[in-house]
């Protein structure tokens, strides 16, 4: 079972996404703080991270850059803010999902980004 880490401080959104992912046979861990994400990644060892861009204390793009230097795993940014392609690429994120999003789009982007990493393992 693939493990997904959701990092977002919107409890309602996290609850909905968590339920959707569990229903689709993913193991899910959630985290609401931007300050200790690398420690959570180290402990939980997710297969993929869903990371909000706007977090209190540190931006998701900064967290993404930090994680990409340490770990080889897909990171999908999501946000209600529109993000420019260069910003998305500058933090080396593997994908972007605009809020609000369709359930099928969420599942498709997760599956799409898990497959190449699965083949490398």
pLDDT tens for residues 47-92?
Answer: 999 999 888 889 899 999 999 999 999 999 988 776 554 566 678 9
Map residue 77 onto helix, strand or coil.
Answer: strand
Judge: domain 3-120, CATH 3.40.50.2300.
yes
- Whether the ω angle into residue 100 lies within 30 degrees of 0, i.e. cis, is yes
| Token representation of residue 41 | 């990644």
Whether the pTM exceeds 0.75: the reply is yes
pLDDT of residue 79: 83
Would you say residue 118 has pLDDT above 60?
no
Q: What residue segments make up the domains of the chain, in order of their start?
A: 3-120
pLDDT tens for residues 21-47?
Answer: 999 999 999 999 998 999 999 999 999
**Long-range contacts of 15-18, Cβ-Cβ distance < 8 Å, separation of 24 or more:** 17/50, 17/106
C-alpha–C-alpha distance, residues 21 and 89, integer Å? 26
C-alpha–C-alpha distance, residues 25 and 20, integer Å? 9
pLDDT of residue 86: 53
Would you say residue 4 has pLDDT above 90?
yes
């Amino acid at each position: 079972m693939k493990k997904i880490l959701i990092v977002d401080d919107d409890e309602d959104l996290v609850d909905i996404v968590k339920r959707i992912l569990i229903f689709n046979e993913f193991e899910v861990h959630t985290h609401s703080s931007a300050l200790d994400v690398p420690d959570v990644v180290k402990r939980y060892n997710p297969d993929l991270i869903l990371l909000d861009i706007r977090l209190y204390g540190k931006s998701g793009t900064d967290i993404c850059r930090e994680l990409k230097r340490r770990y080889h795993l897909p990171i999908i940014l999501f946000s209600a803010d529109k993000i420019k392609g260069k910003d998305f690429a500058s933090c080396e994120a593997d994908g972007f999902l605009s809020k609000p999003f369709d359930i099928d789009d969420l599942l498709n982007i997760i599956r799409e980004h898990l497959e190449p990493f699965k083949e490398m393992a």
